[in-house]
Amino acid sequence: MTSEFDPEKIRLARDWKLLKQLGGEAFCFTGKHSETRARMETMVEILGGAVHKTVGATTTYLVIPNETVTRSSKMQAATRNGTQVITEAELCSKIFPSLDELLNIN
């Protein structure tokens, strides 16, 4: 079974310009996600984003599995550094355009 995080599907969609690019944005992951961390990191990299293993001053987003507040050291570092915390679902909405966007409907 393949998922929306399948690297080959991501590359194909990127080449068809169906996905939003992540250039200039840096992501760090914490917690247990619906996909392996390696798959999610690969997806970010394919789309031009950077992956950080730890949250630092240049980390744009800390991606958490869901809206449950975590007390991880990465969450604490995100708070200190002003890094935006987003859920896995919010990451997907940043990447995968809405139907209106695909059809260029305003």
Q: What would the pLDDT profile of 84-103 be if each residue is shown by its tens digit?
A: 999 998 998 888 776 666 66
* b/e code 18-51 from CB counts within 10 Å (16+ = b): ebeebeebbbbbbbebeeeeebbbbbbebbebbb
Fold category of 22-97 in CATH: Rossmann fold (3.40.50)
Block residue for tokens 């969450």? 75
Is 80 exceeded by the pLDDT of residue 25?
yes
pLDDT at 8 (0 to 100): 77
Long-range contacts of 66-75 (CB under 8 A, 24+ apart): 70/30, 70/31, 72/30, 72/31, 74/28, 74/30, 75/30
Is 80 exceeded by the pLDDT of residue 106?
no
Give the residue-averaged pLDDT of 40-51: 92
Give the global pTM.
0.80
